[in-house]
Chains A and B, each alone.
Chain A
Amino acid sequence: MNIQLTVNGKAQEKEVDARLLLVHFLRDDLGLTGTKIGCDTSQCGACVVSMDGKTIKSCTCLAVQANGSDITTIEGVAPDGVLDPVQEAFWDNHGLQCGYCTAGMIITTVELLKKNPNPSDDEVREGLKGNICRCTGYQNIVKSVQAAAKVNRS
């Protein structure tokens, strides 16, 4: 199948197998390995990317289903090397330990704060429900999201 889509602002056109998952397309075909594969069963959120402004789990989406869409991966969050306020906040607040969940956490947080610029801690936790941190660093993740929200609002 031929697919055409935009990834991090760049038009892409490839021939792919129907059964190729979006996450493998991003990692193996485009070399964008910032997106991780964790549970591979749409539970952990390591593979979260933004598709047409909505966060999705790229392990549970076929590459052919992404045809015509606009995808943002973690590589597209800081395209010119300047960190996004969300990335800065995770850095400043020790919002990551091993880092495996971080790409998904950041993508989810960016979309979360677009929808809700001033979330309560409960709303942050609810918003990050689909992203699991196996280092269990949730306190600092919530702190990071709140710090980013504050910077975005100022």
Chain B
Amino acid sequence: MFATEFEYQRATSVSEAIQLLSNNPGAKILAGGHSLLPMMKLRLTSIPMLIDIGGINELRGISVENNILRIGALTTHAEIAESYDVKDNAGILWETAYGIGDPQVRNRGTIGGNISHADPASDLPTVLKVMDAKFTIQGTGGLMRGGSRVVSADDFFIGPFETDLGENEILTAIEMPVLMANQHAEYAKMAHPATSFAVVGAGVVLTVEDDVCTAARVAVGGFTPVPTRGLTVEQALIGKVLNEENIASATILIHGDLGSDVFGDVFASAEYRQAMAAIELKHAIFHATGLAHHN
């Protein structure tokens, strides 16, 4: 299958890429291409110009400084899944990256491309939301702060395939606080058997002191327009001992957080996914706290 004809430009720096975006209305950034190229081949979209940022090495890399894990936008899922910096400081992200697609997809797909594409069935938006990630965006216009601005994962995702990224902006880096010894994080997903995409995904980051949950961030995704924070679940967990009974009564509250905009398809209906959200959330907390295994 061939995409419709397009112009192709290779950018050698972020500023050059932004310049090309600004001068060519409708142009899109090409990173690993594992979301964009299939859409173009299937003629779901037609794009007049691709700006390939694949050669911009400043956008790659993983580092930890001052308890902040920083991942360049062009870092591949495979590089994240093979990184000890990620494994030691954000195990939830490390495991999630390993669960994406298959080895070949992980070798090409990038974290920045995944987030910018904002597929509701993707795992990373849910995980980055519970990890309280911040995204660095560079551009020429908008809220200028030395040419770049920072948006939290909570504000970045607007709808299916829709983000806060402006026409002439590029996501350059993802930053998140490293997990502390008293923080427990897990992502549990019911994966589509063919595509590995999330039918229902649930992420949790829990802070536990003397067996009591003192802070919580939970979110579910895969079947809502954007990952949905379980704010009432979080409130119900805080101040409680994380035992089976308290976890069960808190996670069931996710139904109230979800609202009515819930997706279903021939594989799994909206009602089913809604019901499974509480279950996957429970699994995530069980795994995070080492309470139990799910079968």
Residues of A within 8 A of B (CB): 1, 17-21, 40-43, 45, 48, 54-57, 60-62, 64-65, 67, 108, 112, 127, 129-131
Contacts and interface: CB of A to CB of B under 8 A. Distances in A.
Given A18-B7, A19-B2, A40-B1, A129 B52 contact: no
A65 B107 contact: no
Contacts of B215: none
B52 A41 contact: no
Range of interface residues on chain B? Answer: 20 to 34
B107 A54 contact: yes
A129 B239 CA distance: 42
A64 B8 contact: yes
B5 A60 contact: no
Given A42-B34, A42-B38, A60-B37, A55 B54 contact: no
Given A1-B8, A19-B5, A43-B194, A62 B103 contact: no
A61 B283 CA distance: 37
Interface of B: 1-8, 10, 30, 33-34, 37-38, 41-42, 50, 52, 54, 78, 101-105, 107-108, 194-195
Contacts of A60: 33-34, 37-38, 108
B74 to A, nearest CB: 13
Contact of B50 (A17, A18, A45): A18
Contacts of B37: 60-62
Instruction: From B5, B37, B38, B54, name the one whose CB has the most chain A CB atoms within 10 angstroms.
Output: B37
A64 B41 contact: no
A55 B2 CA distance: 22
A122 to B, nearest CB: 13
Contact of B102 (A62, A67, A130): A130
Given A41-B38, A56-B108, A108-B103, 15 more contacts: A18-B50, A19-B3, A19-B4, A19-B6, A43-B195, A45-B104, A54-B78, A54-B107, A57-B105, A60-B33, A60-B34, A61-B33, A62-B30, A129-B103, A130-B105
Nearest to B49: A18
7 contacts: A18-B6, A40-B1, A40-B41, A41-B41, A41-B42, A64-B52, A129-B102
